[in-house]
Amino acid sequence: MVGRGEVLERMTTIAGPQGPLEALWQSGGVAGGGPALVHGAPVLLCPPHPALGGSMDSPVLADLVWLLGRRRHPTLRFNYAGVGASHGERGLPPLPVPGGAPVDLRALVDDANAAIAHLLQTSGDRRCYVVGLSVGALIAARLGAENDAVEKVALISPPVDVTDVDVAALDASGVLWRCYVGGDDVFAPVERWRLTMPRLVVISHANHTFSRGLQALCVEVADELTSASDDL
């Protein structure tokens, strides 16, 4: 049994399209999990691009897991195919891409959909929330627009130089979503998003990886995801 204030993650594998994907799962502080014992919706965390130092071991994702676990939300964070110990070839677009060919994120979306299926099966739930960081935010936006199991989406630092976020598709899906960017983020500049994203939260003086402003970001995201209101 996990003690009060403790968050215990365990290694697991996801049946991905190209083979097993490595992942870390925690049950929300309730031994055994299951729909009768879980107190909060399960949360999938999509990692950033490895070219930017990203993986499921990102400090942003790790801190979010700790906060969400303490609030009794099961979490699952994973590595895309070809990253870390995950099998298969990388489907990640090369970076940087400004002015390049259109970016195909389908392989990453397929990995994340497999992760959602695993999360729901493990937690015994039918709905989940999704958090995405950097390129992972682009994946999270696609999941919110396409996967009926997703109820809330938190987009953290979506890199506008990779591809735009389809805000219209997110709104049409009916999911509750919000975007979080650092005030000093050069990959997701605040001035670009102010005109297109009314659900924008700016973390002052934070950069793309939140080496500054990490605690403020995590509290903002966790507060929104764990809120019972419908105004995300």
Residue 2 lies in a domain: no
Strand-strand pairing, 10-16 and 43-46: unpaired
Q: Containing domain of residue 67, as a range?
A: 10-226
232 is a domain residue: no
On whether residue 169 sits in a domain, the answer given is: yes
Residue 221 included in any domain: yes
Q: What CATH code is carried by the domain that includes residue 123?
A: 3.40.50.1820
In a domain, 182, yes or no: yes
What 8-state DSSP symbol labels residue 72? T
Integer Cα distance of 119 and 130 in angstroms: 11
Q: Report if residue 111 sits inside a domain.
A: yes
pLDDT tens string 103-145? 788 899 999 999 999 999 999 999 999 999 999 999 999 999 9
229 pLDDT above the threshold of 70: no
Instruction: For residue range 43-81, list pLDDT tens digits in order.
Output: 999 998 876 667 999 999 999 999 999 999 999 999 999
pLDDT tens, residue by residue, 1-26: 445 556 789 999 999 999 999 999 99
pLDDT for the residue numbered 33: 47
- Tell me, what's the pLDDT at 65? 96
The answer as to whether 185 is a domain residue is: yes
Count of domains for the chain: 1
50-89: b (≥16 Cβ within 10 Å) or e: bebebbbebebbbbbbbbbbbbbbbbbbbbbbbbeebebe
pLDDT above 50 (res 230):
no
